[in-house]
Amino acid sequence: MIEQLAGSWNYIIVVILMMTGLFIVIARANLVKKMIGLSIFQTSVFIFYISLGKMANGTAPILDGNPDTLYSNPLPHVLILTAIVVGVATTALGLALILRINEAFGSVEEDEIIAAKASQSLARPQRPTSEAAE
């Protein structure tokens, strides 16, 4: 039992991180915290992929002429390099939107934004108005 757990150690971490991230995305009302949760969630998937490619005792896949050398699978690493770029773009865009939301609504808390929505929307979000509202 313990051995089995130790053997799939990475995957247990992946599941814990995945659930943590998803929980934060769903349960937190703060928009910035939601982005943090999303990043944790995505990172867990990165670890999942990299664990898939790892061979026990495998080394970096650079040919050394020895037929007995075990190589790790490089493909998941390359895929995750792409996924990381996508993740960075997602986070950057999310944070930029939060910045604009803060300017327009004067808050990054979801419940306060929903309360503000009930009142009439602004013609154009302007910095001074939102600061005056605080």
Partner 1 sequence: MMGTAILTNLPALLVVVPLLLAPFSAVLPIAGLAWVLALVGTGISFLAALMLQSVTENGVRISYHLGNWEPPWGIEFVVDSASSLTLVVMSGLGFLATLAARRLVAIEIADKDSGKFYAAWLLVVGGLFGLVMTADAFNLFVFLEISALASVILIGMGAGTDRRALVAGYHYLVIGAVGATFYVIGVGFIYAITGTLNMGDMASRLPDAAGGAALYVGFGFMVAGMLVKAAIFPVHIWLPAAYGYAPSAVSTLLAAIATKAALYVLARIFFTIFAGTPEIVDIALSNIIVPLAVGGIFVGTIMAIYEADIKKMFAHSSVAQIGYIALGLALATPAGISAGFIHIGNHALIKGGIFMAIGGFVAALGTRASLETITGIGRRMPITATAFLICGLSLAGLPLTAGFISKLYLVRAILETNSYVILALVLISSALSVVYLWKVMEVMWMQPAPARSPKLVENPAIYLPLWMVALGNIWFGIDAGWIVGAARLAATALLGGGA
Residue of 30, 36, 90, 109 that binds partner 1 (CB under 8 A): 90
C-beta closer to partner 1: residue 55 or 86: 86
Nearest approach in angstroms of CB 134 to partner 1 is 16
Total site size for partner 1, rule CB under 8 A:
35
- What is d(CA 14, CA 51) in angstroms, rounded to the nearest whole number? 9
- 38 interacts with partner 1 by CB under 8 A: yes
- What is d(CA 50, CA 83) in angstroms, rounded to the nearest whole number? 12
- What is d(CA 100, CA 125) in angstroms, rounded to the nearest whole number? 8
**Residue found by looking up tokens 């604009």 in the block:** 100
Q: Which of 52, 36, 27 is nearest to 110 (CA)?
A: 27
- 45 interacts with partner 1 by CB under 8 A: yes
Phi, psi (rounded to 5 degrees) for 56: -60, 130
Interface ranges with partner 1 (CB under 8 A) = 22, 25, 31, 34-35, 38, 41-42, 45, 48-49, 52, 75-76, 79, 82-83, 86, 89-90, 93-94, 97-98, 100-101, 104-105, 113, 117, 121-125
